[in-house]
Structure 1
Amino acid sequence: MEPEEVFVNELVHDLESGHLQLPTLPEVALRVREVVDDENANAGQIAEIIGQDAALSARLLQVANSPLYRGRQEIDRLSMVIARLGNKLVRNLVTSQVMKQMFQATTDMVDQRLRAVWEHSVQVAAIARALAGQAPAVDPDQAMLAGLLHDIGTLPILYRAEERAELLETPGLLDHLIETLHTRIGGAILQHWKFPDALVAVAAEHENLERDHPGPADLVDVVQVANLQSHLDTDHRLGQADWSRIPAFHQLGLDADLHEIELTDVAEEIDAVQQLFEPA
């Protein structure tokens, strides 16, 4: 059996048996999600949880005053952040802002890979938020979170690479594992976190280029197209995909015969989203 098959079988077995180490969502994000999902919760409870994390509190104030969300009055209190943005958007922004903590490793090579995945995810998040304007059924901020989460399945594979030198030393092996398994693992992670089915579907289905469905464009369509745009003209296997054969473009009303999506009109929005995830 080839090394690739050995490691694929090993990871699949661990995933199915519940022995694969899945990343844990930082506690503050879990607690905020639990409170927001409780119909009896109030803004004060959310602010109290966030307020226990000084860095996150400061970051959310920056986000609320950023070009994407600012109003006429500058915000200087968490209660005002929640009043302006609403519970559900704050929940998603908390999740988005704490996610970067998970993209860290103890070895330089794996750390570089994790940083690259994070940077790609931020770019996809920014494009997805802009593309949501083409999909009336898709909330732009949910699309942004979905873009950040779409490759979450790469994390356990890269964590495993820290423990198994062969995964780094065998040319192409790590890429093969990620290509083969990251969508399946990603869906499992978001199910484990009890995220909505629509986000689970993004992690599990965003590279299924034959995916088609009745009805309006959905979250998977938006992230799939954003992901393809991000990979365009790169060495990634999706960089040369034939867009004319991909139903998601039709769902979004985009001309699949174009070589790339025209994003000039939303360039400022894309830049503003990317700035949300730059170091404070």
Structure 2
Amino acid sequence: MSATTQTPAADEPQTSAHLSASVDPKLEALFDRLANLASPPSMVPQVLAVATRAEPSAEDLRMVIEKDQALSVRLLTLINSSYYGLRNEVSDLQTAVSLLGVDKVKNVALTIAMSEQFKAPSVVGNLDPRQLWDHSVSTAAVARLISTRCGIEDPEAAYLAGLVHDLGLNVLEQHMPEHAPRVFVRFTSGQDWVNAEQEVLEFDHAQLGAYLASRVGFGRKTIEAIEFHHAPMAAPPESRDLAALIAAANYLVTRCGHGSIDRRRIVADDAIEHLNLTNKKLRGLWEELDVTLQGVAELTNR
């Protein structure tokens, strides 16, 4: 079952109505209910609505962010952290947008806003939301690194897709407490996590995450990168590079001890081959991983 087989010509926001024809009817009602239970902070769709326009306005983005004073303060604090490495302190959003650009400021705002969904304690105790958030931001940071160093996709598009690639996993843990433990039992018995989800739920967290992202207003390529990050070669051609990039970043951060689930092994041979990440390129990326992942602590407020 593919939640996103219909693809518009541009990377425009999608809605659940646009996707409904390709969602298994017996799952659509469940996905819709979970989307309503797990709705993100209102700031997320507002920021996306501005940032996904054909010509996003820096002024419109500033005005949206400034509606939330707490978000504005946290955003400026984060932008002035060592992670972004600005020479001079930035004291206002207008300057921040002019220095960093709309896409980067959008991603900072979304990182802060979406972190709220990962603060609630686990309902059934199988997954640690804080660990999952660390994994999500780590994947985002490393996806940006791969994109920058290897010239694959736009670095900020890579960061955003990495940030939300496991959106469905936290929702399963928080809102399906009767089923999540059954998945975990199969996993601890040696079964692959995604296969365990398919057996128990008849869908997996990537499919659910794609649906959730469509409801919020993420663009098509981001949605398809979420859906296919465990099977990037099955992604539509326009989204295959981004899906493969997220798969590779997911693999690298898990190898470095920033996995979403303890003891989980991630395989990404097909993604690494598709992206032409030779041993030489991988060695170069590996040498930069420690510094990149150290910066994640500032993004996750650890």
Does the alignment reach a TM-score above 0.5?
A: yes
Counterpart AA for 2:118: F
Unaligned runs of 5+ in 1: 1-11
Quick one: higher RCO (CA 8 Å, sep 6+), 1 or 2? 2
Which residue of 181, 192, 197 corresponds with 2:204? 181
Aligned CA distance change for structure 1 residues 73 and 259 (closer, same or farther; 3 Å):
closer
- Check whether the contact 2:221–2:238 (CA below 8 A) recurs between aligned residues: no
Query: Which of 102-111 and 198-207 deviates more?
Result: 102-111
Separation in structure 2 between the aligned mates of residue 42 and residue 97 of structure 1, nearest angstrom: 20
1:44-63 aligned at under 5 Å gives the runs 44-63=59-78
Q: CA RMSD in A?
A: 3.5
Count of residues paired in the alignment? 262
Counterpart AA for 1:168: P
Which residue does 2:4 correspond to in 1? Answer: none
- Check whether the contact 1:157–1:177 (CA below 8 A) recurs between aligned residues: no
Which residue does 2:19 correspond to in 1? Answer: none
Separation in structure 2 between the aligned mates of residue 99 and residue 122 of structure 1, nearest angstrom: 11
Which residue of 102, 108, 111 corresponds with 1:93? 108
Which residue does 1:140 correspond to in 2? Answer: 155
Separation in structure 1 between the aligned mates of residue 171 and residue 25 of structure 2, nearest angstrom: 14
Which residue does 1:268 correspond to in 2? Answer: 291
TM-score (norm 2): 0.72
Unaligned runs of 5+ in 2: 1-23, 188-192
Aligned CA distance change for structure 1 residues 213 and 154 (closer, same or farther; 3 Å):
closer
Residues 1:219 and 2:226 aligned together:
no
1:1-280 aligned at under 5 Å gives the runs 15-17=27-29, 19-22=32-35, 23-38=38-53, 42-105=57-120, 109-110=124-125, 112-162=127-177, 164=178, 167-168=180-181, 172=185, 176-177=196-197, 180-208=203-231, 210-211=233-234, 218-232=241-255, 235-238=263-266, 241=267, 246-255=269-278, 262-279=285-302
Secondary structure class of the residue paired with 1:102: helix
**Superposition deviation, residue 191 in structure 1:** 1.4
Aligned CA distance change for structure 1 residues 134 and 75 (closer, same or farther; 3 Å):
closer
**Superposition deviation, residue 32 in structure 1:** 2.2
Aligned CA distance change for structure 1 residues 78 and 215 (closer, same or farther; 3 Å):
closer
Which residue does 1:4 correspond to in 2? Answer: none
Separation in structure 2 between the aligned mates of residue 118 and residue 274 of structure 1, nearest angstrom: 11
TM-score (norm 1): 0.77
- Check whether the contact 1:229–1:260 (CA below 8 A) recurs between aligned residues: no
Larger Rg: 1
**Superposition deviation, residue 262 in structure 1:** 4.7
Q: Percent identity?
A: 24
**Superposition deviation, residue 61 in structure 1:** 0.9
